[in-house]
A and B are shown apart, each in its own frame.
Chain A
Amino acid sequence: MKLYEYEAKQIFEKFGLTVPKKIGIIENVNGLEKLSLNFPIMIKAMVLIGGRGKAGGIKKADNSTEARDICSKMFDLIIHGYSIKKLLLEEAVTVSQEIYLSIITDPATFDLVIVASASGGVDIEEVAKNHPEEIWKKTLVDNPKTLSEEVSKEAADFLVGRNPELTSVEESLSTVIMALFSAFQQSEAKICEINPLIVTNDNQLIAADAKFVLDDNSLYRQAPLLKSIGIDPRSKRHDVSEQTKYEAQAYIIGFPFLDLLDNPENFQKEQDKLYVGLVPGGAGYGIFSIDEVVNVGNLYFDGKVVPINFMDSGGGPSLSEVADMFHLLMDHPATDIIITSRFGGISSCDIFIQGLIMALRDRYISKRRMIPVFGRMVGTDLAAARAFLDKAKGESPEPLKDLHIVVGNQKIMADVIKEGIEYGFEIKKQEETGGN
């Protein structure tokens, strides 16, 4: 989970790093009135997506007219498709030198890597590409709890070596690196970055910007930290944005779900397209089934098929969780048809079909919208699942009349998807002619 800059800076402060003096956070221009401003100030757009500086999301203001003007423009800004809800206002810092510091996870080996450069304040990727000699990197293969003085000194040495003007702050640099490392390990971060770490004229080290990505898997035990920076430990956000209504709903129930459509709550469908909801099984097939729907759509249906969601319905969901997965998609305004696959591994075909039928019966009785379901089930507990399905079809044929489940694997899933889409288009056609 990525933190907003002001949240990240709160953590930095806890670990003894100095950050610019925070003036406040505003959610609209009028918020400025309540703040006492000590110019010059920095105004920063709080978005999770990167590239905010280039997009005009960081500005300096020297007086209140300027501040008001910058804030009002910034609230109108859209950065990579994401609007801005909050601005952070800080006192500006006089810059003498700019340093880059980060602790990251090596994507290849998963080891910790410390990265430092005396050429901070600019895009570090560019530096790495054009001047690799300006970058110091150290991989730690033993996942230490704290950083040894030796390594932090090594980093500070390097920085001083590249820029002798840093000599006077060498010791503080070493301290900052150790503190950043402790912040990383104790908060269980994936990425901790300061760019730039500013050296002021009076030799202070100030973390002017902060990037902090927490490990989603450890959030449960970081509750005190999250609470201390104002985050509800049971909430969730993406690396780039907040959740949609349906995503939040699924998160509370307890299964991963993503909307693939922008603005799903008020989504405008295109008449000739078929919108497919997916209850696909595990996460991997959740990703793959999106591709399969698109591929089948492109191959046989003139590209007119749109998958509307990602879902991870694997991992042994309970009966009511399975039912909720189908409820969510049937309540979703975009869904035309649901394609589902249950390849029972850890999860059971039996629980799956019971949950699905429970949802269909509930909706039928309470007269909620019913969407045709197409799919296949195979694997763990198939025999029991099949027996249940047959019995249920006999007991309540009406709610289950648009449930089409292939039992067993004589037909591969790609073919089931194709049939489901064909059926979806047929229904659509019938509805249209029926409507006329």
Chain B
Amino acid sequence: MTIKKLSVEQGLLHYFIKQVRPELAENITKTKTIETMIVGLGRQGTRHAQLMMEYGTNVTCGVAPGKGGTLVHEKIPVYESAKDAVEKHPNIAVASIWRHHSTAKDAAIEVIRAGIPIVVLISEFIPLKDVRDILVEARKHKTILFGGNTPGIIFPPEGIKVGMLPDIFQAELIGDKVGPKGVTILSRSGAILYHLSDALASAGIAQNGVLGVGGDGAIGSRFVDLVSRIMSYENTDLIVIAGEIGGMQEELLAHDMVSHPEKYSKPLIALISGANAPEGKTMGHAGAVISPGQKFGTYKSKREALEQAGVTVVNHQCDLIEAVKTKLNRSYFDVERYYNKMQKKWDEKPPEKTWGTLITNAMPNNLIIRGYPLQDIIAKKGLLETSYLLQVGEFPDESTLVELEKIAVDATIQPFVNQDAVPPCPDISKMLGTYLLLDTRLSNYVNSTSDKAKVAAFSLGRMLRYLAILLGNIEMVENASKGDVSFRNMIYVGLVGEEEPDPLKAKLLESMITACVDHGITPPSAQATLVLASTRANFEVAMSAGLQAITDVHGGAGQKAAGFFLSVAKKAKEENIDLDEATFELMRNTIKAGNRIEGLGHRIHTQDPRRDVLWQLAEEAGYAKECVAISKMVSDVFYRVRGMNLPINVDGVIAAIVADMKLDPKIAKAIFVFGRTAGLAAHYYEEISTQPQMRQLAFDKAVYKGSSIRDIS
């Protein structure tokens, strides 16, 4: 059974906002959501951002100097300053500040100056002088400031919490709907808030707002600033304040109640702690100390002042429950229902520690990149557009694509001076990985920009150059670069070594490369790049590690598969037999000799999503010949030989097309490595901008949190 939350504009938080920023409050009545921001993304801030969102709070963005432009919890944008954040998100109404006490002042002042009406200052132990500076600013901007040293504020009916309060509070229930009424609790201490609330819940008393005012000696909003304000909120039936020894907040409130009784129309109960506290010894909270010789700040002074103002004062949990019950003489929900809810919570298995990626969802038989099925991308988009999509999350507009094209072509043309420093080796991956590490032009480019889409385009250009060198086509590339050449044609020249490529062939080649761009975080190459990225290794180092993980075992099967298909075709022709028959015989012999048939089988897919679209494109381009035909039957033949289902994989399909295009089988692996460059770059940048460094990388705990499935328009 789902319970409908209270609409935000009926709640107490909105009521606060309305009092200090009426226009913003008016906006909220239209947007129906209260946007919040989190300032300080250390361990606590980051963790509690997550818990707040789980509770239902709309966390719009974060602020953390030095982390601007990154994302937290995979999706929430982080800005350098509160000003930047508010410029982008003018509807932010609440900010929580989680900075260390030594930097809390600057953070708080910045947030206040940005005009945010409700500020929750979690930081504790802030120096008094800094607090005074914060208060000066808060008064100037009419900010409602909670804290320092507050556990936060929570509004159970609306399901909004800002801070670290645990989810044990209970709103009024009217059937299956949440009601707005209840008791509002204010406390100088966090733990007391929790103990008060669960004590009241045990008596069926709902809380419509639970506010930590802060445990420090000097705080933003005192009881006297808040209590009468809350009494004018129609849905509060009673207020409980939890005070403690030290300071004169409770006495001030009592004094105001005596001089302005008209502002205090609702019952108030005070729980005061410290009846047995020693003098002159600070009790944890900077504010909780009885100053020797002063006439305020003691348990007695507070109790007497409040009692004189007509407040019921208690010092024991059971007395509190009794006092509230007597005053209200009603319950707000079924207590059993509350306990059942809580029981369910603590019977729950500990949540798995998952982490998110927004790039690719690799599911059996489906590969979804940023929400788009990969087969649609292969059919409709080019490599550079797809690379941009991987990095940024959307396809580029036309002018951006032109720019990327230029970057990629330029990157291909620029010389690579260290190529001779690498001793030749037949392993393409090793050669490429080493080139990446030695290429100063690439590292200079990476250091010169923070634009990851540009870096990815530049990397593709460089990778093409390396491949052209390794495939012996570099001179053709040099020649081609003298004219006005597109990146697609450049790819063809670089990989195939033919000038003036047939447009259909060039497009087909690019499609195959696009098919290889990414497979989420499941393949070893992506994982190797992520491991390096988590240590904040340089881009080219992480890319090199990822690419070098592409071996015969992973992604390197194409070359051998192409060889197999060509042998089959040759055999059929020479022996004048059916392709089917030739495949069967050759396969049987290969397996008998103890060798593998490459291009078959996949860790995840039983029907590779890239298969049909590639066959289709080959067909359309006129390059679906014998080998493609063989590739279509190879799986069935395998069944005949071994009695096992082993589907053809993308390596197999590409190998077949490469063979039918009469290209060197070596190109099959080059296609894979080249395409994967784009995906690895995306994973590198996602890791460094959304995850803490040196984190524990549990690859099996990754969850896709990106766009849901969409069509390419």
A residues apposed to B, CB below 8 Å: 48-51, 80, 105, 107-108, 110-112, 125, 141-143, 185, 188, 190, 215-218, 220-221, 238-241, 256, 258, 260, 280-288, 290-292, 294-296, 299, 307, 310-312, 314-316, 341, 343-346, 350, 378-384, 386-387, 407-410, 412-414
Are B315 and A291 touching (Cβ within 8 A)?
A: yes
Chain B residues, CB < 8 A from A218: 127-130
Select one of A108, A112, A215 contacting B248, CB under 8 A: A108
Q: Does B440 contact A (CB under 8 A)?
A: no
Distance in angstroms from B255 CB to nearest chain A CB is 9
Chain B residue nearest to A348 (CB atoms) is: B47
Question: When chains A and B are docked, how far (Å) is the Cα of A345 from the Cα of B187?
Answer: 14
Given the complex of chains A and B, what is the CA–CA distance between A218 and B318 in angstroms? Answer: 39
Minimum Cβ distance to chain A for residue B46 (Å): 13
Q: Does B622 contact A (CB under 8 A)?
A: no
B192 touches A288 (CB 8 A): yes
Question: Which chain A positions have C-beta within 8 A of B48?
Answer: 346
Contact (Cβ within 8 A) B191 A307:
no
17 examples of A-B residue contacts, CB within 8 angstroms: A143-B133, A218-B128, A240-B292, A256-B282, A282-B215, A283-B283, A284-B215, A284-B288, A288-B189, A288-B271, A292-B317, A314-B190, A343-B195, A345-B166, A380-B166, A383-B347, A410-B342
- CB contacts (< 8 Å) of B151 on chain A: these are 282, 345-346
**Chain B residues whose C-beta falls within 8 Å of the C-beta of A49 in the assembled complex:** 280, 292
Q: Which of B245, B279, B321 has the most CB of A within 10 A?
A: B279
Contact with A along B333-351 (1 / 0, CB 8 A): 0000001001101111111
**B residues near A143, Cβ cutoff 8 Å:** 129, 132-133, 135-136
Q: Smallest distance from the beta carbon of A357 to chain B beta carbons, Å?
A: 16
- Chain B residue at minimal CB-CB distance from A296: B316
Question: A224: shortest Cβ distance to chain B, in Å?
Answer: 15
Give residues of chain B (174-199) contacting chain A, Cβ–Cβ below 8 Å. Answer: 187-192, 194-195, 198-199
Chain B residues near A50 (CB-CB < 8 A): 292-293
B252 within 8 A of A: yes
Q: How far is the CB of B657 from chain A (nearest CB, A)?
A: 51
B477 on the interface (CB 8 Å rule)?
no
Q: Measured between alpha carbons, how far is A291 from B191 in the docked complex, in Å? A: 15
B296 within 8 A of A: yes
- Tell me if B165 counts as interface (CB < 8 A to partner A): yes
CB-based contact A284/B285 at 8 Å: yes
The CB with the most chain B CB atoms within 10 A, among A143, A220, A381, is that of A143
Question: Shortest distance in angstroms between B42's beta carbon and chain A's nearest beta carbon?
Answer: 11
Q: How large is the interface on B (under 10, 10 to 19, 20 to 34, 35 or more residues)?
A: 35 or more
Given contacts A280-B191, A343-B191, contact A294 B129 (CB under 8 A): no
Q: Are the CB atoms of A239 and B292 closer together than 8 Å?
A: yes
How far in angstroms is the closest Cβ of chain B from A265? 17
Whether the Cβ atoms of A258 and B278 lie closer than 8 Å is yes
Question: Which of B130, B216, B244, B281 gathers most chain A CB within 10 Å?
Answer: B281
Instruction: Tell me which residues across on chain B come within 8 A of A378, comparing CB atoms.
Output: 166, 168, 194, 198, 342, 346
- B194–A345 CB distance below 8 A: yes
**Chain A residues positioned under 8 Å from B127 (CB to CB):** 188, 215, 217-218, 221
User: Does A412 contact B317, Cβ atoms closer than 8 Å?
Assistant: yes
Q: B129-143 toward A: CB 8 Å interface, digit per residue (1/0)? A: 111110110010000
Q: Is the CB of B281 within 8 A of A238?
A: yes
* Complex: A48 Cα to B291 Cα, angstroms: 12
- Contacts beyond the supplied A286-B191, A290-B273: 18 A-B pairs with Cβ under 8 Å: A105-B128, A105-B218, A185-B129, A217-B286, A218-B128, A221-B102, A239-B289, A240-B280, A240-B292, A258-B278, A284-B187, A284-B273, A287-B277, A379-B168, A386-B346, A409-B202, A412-B199, A413-B195
Query: A188-B128, A414-B316, A414-B318 are known contacts. Are A286 and B51 too (CB-CB below 8 A)?
Result: no
B16 at the interface (CB under 8 A from A): no
Question: Is A407 in contact with B346, judged by CB distance below 8 angstroms?
Answer: yes
Alpha-carbon separation in the docked complex, A158 to B1 (Å): 72
- Which residues on A sit within 8 Å (CB–CB) of B346? 378, 382-383, 386, 407-408
Would you list the 4 A-B pairs with minimal beta carbon distance, nearest first?
A284-B189, A283-B284, A240-B280, A312-B284
Q: For residue B281, which residues in chain A have a CB less than 8 angstroms away from its CB?
A: 238-241, 258, 310
Shortest CB–CB separation between residue A300 and chain B, in angstroms? Answer: 11
Residue B297 is within 8 A (CB to CB) of chain A in the complex: yes
Minimum CB distance partner of A414 in chain B? B317
Q: B129, A287: Cβ atoms under 8 Å? A: no
Chain B residues close to A by CB (< 8 Å): 44, 48, 51, 101-102, 122, 124-133, 135-136, 139, 151, 164-166, 168, 187-192, 194-195, 198-199, 201-202, 215-219, 242, 244-245, 247-248, 252, 271, 273-286, 288-289, 291-294, 296-297, 315-318, 321, 339, 342-343, 345-351
B291:A239 contact, CB within 8 angstroms: yes
Q: Which residues of B contact A314 (CB under 8 A)?
A: 190-191, 284
Task: Report how far A4 CA is from B194 CA in the complex, Å.
Answer: 40
Residues of B within 8 A of A258 (CB): 278, 281, 283
B288 and A345 contact, CB distance less than 8 A: no
Contact: A383 with B136, CB < 8 Å? no
> Complex Cα distance A106/B366, Å?
67
* B219 CB contacts on chain A under 8 angstroms: 110
Q: Which residues of B contact A311 (CB under 8 A)?
A: 284
Q: What is the bound-complex CA distance between A288 and B166, given in angstroms?
A: 19
Residues of B contacting A141 with CB < 8 Å? 136, 139
What is the bound-complex CA distance between A260 and B276, given in angstroms?
9
In contact, A287 and B283 (Cβ under 8 angstroms): yes
Most buried by B among A108, A258, A294: A108
Residue of B nearest to A142 (CB): B136
**Chain A residues near B130 (CB, 8 Å)?**
218
User: Measured between alpha carbons, how far is A264 from B51 in the docked complex, in Å?
Assistant: 42
Q: Are B276 and A216 in contact (CB under 8 A)?
A: no
Determine the distance from Cα of A216 to Cα of B202 in the docked complex, in whole angstroms: 39
Kindly state the separation between the CA atoms of A126 and B285 in the bound complex, as whole angstroms. Answer: 30
Max chain A Cβ within 10 angstroms of own Cβ: one of B151, B282, B296: B282
Could you tell me if A217 and B101 are in contact, using CB atoms closer than 8 angstroms?
Answer: yes
Partner of B286, one of A107, A216, A280: A216
Given contacts A105-B128, A188-B127, are A288 and B195 in contact (CB under 8 A)? yes
Cβ of B217 to closest chain A Cβ, rounded Å: 8
List of B residues within 8 angstroms of A256 by Cβ: 282-284
Residue of B nearest to A408 (CB): B346
Residues in chain A near residue B348, CB distance under 8 A: 383
Complex-state Cα separation, A282 to B273, whole angstroms = 13
Q: In the complex, which of the residues A125, A282, A283, A344 has the most CB atoms of chain B within 10 Å of its own CB atom?
A: A283
